[in-house]
Amino acid sequence: MFASTAGEFEIERRLDAFARARLSPLPGSKARTRARVMREARLVFGAQAQAAAVASVVGRMPATTHRSPFIRRGGGLLLAAGLALGLAGGAMAASDAGGPLYPTRIWFETFALPSNPSDRANAEIDRLSARLTEITDAAKRGDQAAVEAALLAYQRIADEAFAGAGDDSALTERLAAALGTHVTVLQGVAANVPAQAREAIERNITRAIDHNDATIERSRSHPAAPGAGSNPNPGSEPNPGSNGTNPDTTPKPTKEPSVAATPHPTQPAHAADPSPTADPPKGPPSEKSDNGPPEQNGKPTP
């Protein structure tokens, strides 16, 4: 390729061997990525084709009418604006809960998350609240697929948020408090689902509540590092030997967190910034199951 001497050839050979051995995609990786990318491509190209079809109709209109150029231009602008709104509306609808672009939208959100663990936890709580709103709206409409999609996203984000909080007890507690509040909201939603889709939506919401309960319980029973939320020595690792030995920093597990957690939904814990060297949060949620974290949706593992 580039080599002109035996030494350069040897370097190229070794670099090539290195790339083949350590940088090649895993088996199945290309097929997975291709399927997702081409799904996006179909949506984009489909929208383009619709736009082109409408544009061709608009292009033919002036020949058969005798309106003034001003009116024609105004009409064209209105049509263009309508088309743009229609396309934007279509894209927005596609990225709504249950829409084909919804998982992609959720996945893109993870890329915009801050890296600071405290800010990240707040952002994750915002994302959870957004999902909760989607669940509530979809349940009101009786849209079972949207409820299911939003609940699935909610559970994934919750898992991701707790994984990102790691051993930081302040962050974990903040997340648990938010989830506790959400459980109450979810119970309210489940109680007011329209009759036509009640059974399935209730079942899904109950599963999500169980998942939340299990997550809260797991986070509280997990031995958090004492003082991890206000570590005076940012470079130091939490001491595993002292985990769980200080009852003051390890909240008691509660079997019924939904009611107990509601009186104090928001914790003023923003000031207790965790150590900057906390483990980076997990990667974006993935549809695949071979590389990602253990699937827990609907299957709480206390």
What is the footprint of other proteins within residues 37-96 (CB under 8 A)? Answer: 37-38, 40-42, 44-45, 48-49, 52
Q: How far is CA 115 from the centre of its chain?
A: 15
Q: Say if residues 229 and 171 touch (Cβ distance below 8 Å).
A: yes
Distance separating alpha carbons of residues 150 and 141, to the nearest angstrom: 14
Least Cβ distance, residue 55 to other proteins (angstroms): 13
Residue 136's contacts (CB-CB under 8 Å, 6 or more residues apart) are 185, 189
Could you give the string, one character per residue 223-262, with x where binding to other proteins holds by CB under 8 A and - elsewhere?
A: ----------------------------------------
Quickly tell me which residue has 């003051």 as its tokens: 248
114 binds other proteins (CB under 8 A): yes
Q: Which two tokens stand for residue 13?
A: 């050979």
Burial status of residue 37 (CB atoms within 10 A of its CB: 0-12, 13-18, 19 or more): exposed
Mark the segment that binds other proteins (CB under 8 A) among 84-92, 113-121, 139-147, 255-263: 113-121
Least Cβ distance, residue 210 to other proteins (angstroms): 27
76, 223, 292, 298: which one contacts other proteins (CB under 8 A)?
292
3 binds other proteins (CB under 8 A): yes
Mark the segment that binds other proteins (CB under 8 A) among 55-63, 105-113, 126-134, 206-214: 105-113
Quickly tell me which residue has 């949207």 as its tokens: 146
17, 61, 85, 163: which one contacts other proteins (CB under 8 A)?
17
Distance separating alpha carbons of residues 19 and 13, to the nearest angstrom: 10
Q: Which two tokens stand for residue 52?
A: 């082109």
> 4 to each of 7, 12, 13, 43, 136, how far by Cα in Å?
8, 11, 13, 48, 67
Could you give the string, one character per residue 255-284, with x where binding to other proteins holds by CB under 8 A and - elsewhere?
A: -------------------------xx-xx
Q: Which two tokens stand for residue 73?
A: 């231009």
Mark the segment that binds other proteins (CB under 8 A) among 102-110, 205-213, 217-225, 231-239: 102-110
DSSP, residue by residue, 212-240: HHHHHHHHHHS-PBTTGGG-S-TTSPP-G
Mark the segment that binds other proteins (CB under 8 A) among 16-24, 54-62, 132-140, 225-233: 16-24
Select from 117, 135, 225, 232 the least CA-distant residue to 175: 117
Least Cβ distance, residue 85 to other proteins (angstroms): 19
111 binds other proteins (CB under 8 A): yes
Q: Which two tokens stand for residue 255?
A: 């079997």
Distance separating alpha carbons of residues 168 and 228, to the nearest angstrom: 5
163 binds other proteins (CB under 8 A): no
Using the minimum distance from each CB to other proteins, give the nearer residue, 49 or 93.
49
What is the footprint of other proteins within residues 129-158 (CB under 8 A)? Answer: none
Quickly tell me which residue has 């263009």 as its tokens: 80
Q: Residue numbers of the site for other proteins (CB under 8 A)?
A: 1-3, 5-26, 29-30, 32-34, 36-38, 40-42, 44-45, 48-49, 52, 104, 107-108, 111-115, 280-281, 283-284, 286, 288, 291-292
